[in-house]
Homo-oligomer: A and B are copies of this chain.
């Protein structure tokens, strides 16, 4: 099985999907000959032609609106937004159209589109290039929000997203695009969009995370194991709709929970997980539900961005505190 980076896995899944289904088209800024600024679409235009791999004008609202129109016509558009900081002009199309076209028309029309975008900071990028605003999207009924944290999951979840009959926002953790390789077999097998992945078993505490910071979460779990604390690590992977059962089952088992995400704390998606537990897992809880998150301030420029992103020590400290609570 080839060893691929996450971005290579994305490229592979895109190629596979385009090969399999002539309705799949890719569109966005610089996705053609340039292969996207992160090279997610590299080689696709050469292989599938400029009609199916479309360099759009510089207009994100347009990209999302084109996707809605194409999808309603039976194509399976995969739009790319160059950075999540530029996704906001798409929100109107996502909220008012993509997510509800099926419901508005009672199933007469549907919207099988995917909007991909790099997510998060930590790559020393300029202003506005380091956004983590997944919570805004994960609140929208009718949408799916998916975020892989490994090459394998990137491949399988992207295939699933493209094949899904409903709109999916697919957030790619920029910071780990090339961080580590993983075994990815190009077998066309999708991963389910309705389960969370238990990446590590443990009985002392549940760590829940998604995206790039799963890496730090796993590192923290490893460090904690050395200190005698066995953490269960869950990659939520699909945020909307999310897998409540896996979360609750784990917390029922461990009685303690730390949620880790890079987005700002207040109103982040971690709040939803904590709320679920406070509602349906309360009786199992042995300690307060902790959140280790980005701060409630603007993601700083590169000089300070590492102080914003949850670090292994922060996760370890919060987890120890949860475990020591009695």
Contacts and interface: CB of A to CB of B under 8 A. Distances in A.
Interface of A: 61, 85, 88-89, 91-92, 95-96, 99-100, 103-104, 127-128, 133, 135-136, 138-142, 240-242, 263-264, 266-275, 277-280, 282-283, 285, 287-291, 295-298
B280 A278 contact: no
Nearest to A239: B267
Contact of A264 (B91, B103, B133, B139): B139
28 contacts: A88-B96, A91-B136, A104-B127, A135-B135, A135-B136, A135-B267, A136-B136, A139-B263, A139-B267, A141-B264, A141-B266, A142-B298, A242-B266, A266-B272, A267-B271, A270-B275, A271-B272, A272-B275, A274-B274, A274-B279, A275-B275, A277-B278, A278-B278, A278-B282, A278-B288, A279-B290, A280-B288, A282-B287
B135 A139 contact: yes
A111 B289 CA distance: 36
B99 A138 contact: no
Contacts of A61: 89
Given A89-B89, A136-B139, A267 B240 contact: yes
Given A274-B275, A278-B285, 13 more contacts: A61-B89, A88-B96, A99-B298, A141-B298, A142-B297, A142-B298, A241-B296, A242-B266, A275-B275, A275-B291, A279-B290, A280-B288, A282-B285
Contact of A288 (B99, B142, B271, B282): B282
Given A289-B275, A289-B279, A138 B266 contact: yes
A142 B133 CA distance: 14
Nearest to A286: B282
Contacts of A135: 135-136, 139, 267
A88 B85 contact: no
A104 to B, nearest CB: 7
B139 A266 contact: yes
A312 to B, nearest CB: 21
A288 B136 CA distance: 25
The 3 closest A-B CB pairs, nearest first, are A274-B275, A139-B267, A88-B92
A84 to B, nearest CB: 10
Contacts of A266: 138-139, 141, 240-242, 272
